[in-house]
Amino acid sequence: MQGKGKQEFELAVFSGNQPQPRFGHTVTMISQYKAILFGGAIGNTGKFKITGDTYQCDLRTLNWKKLDRKHF
């Protein structure tokens, strides 16, 4: 769009216990600034491992936290 100004993006740097790169997972927003990531598969195509782990991401602090069963 012309006349609207230039959009700029900034690379976010996350901290905490970050999940490994994966595919086939779900991410659900549970509040305005918190998201839950569940499951998925890690590894290379053809040789991957299905996970059942759960992580929480705080989008205000850019911090990941792995959740264990005691959080449910």
**pLDDT tens readout for residues 24-68:** 999 999 999 999 999 999 998 789 999 999 999 999 999 999 999
What pLDDT does residue 67 have? 96
What pLDDT does residue 3 have? 58
User: Per-residue pLDDT tens for 9-19?
Assistant: 999 999 999 99
pTM: 0.81
Spans of all domains in the chain: 15-71
DSSP the chain: --SS----------EESPPPP-BS-EEEE-SSSEEEEEEEEEEETTEEEEEEEEEEEETTTTEEEEE-GGG-
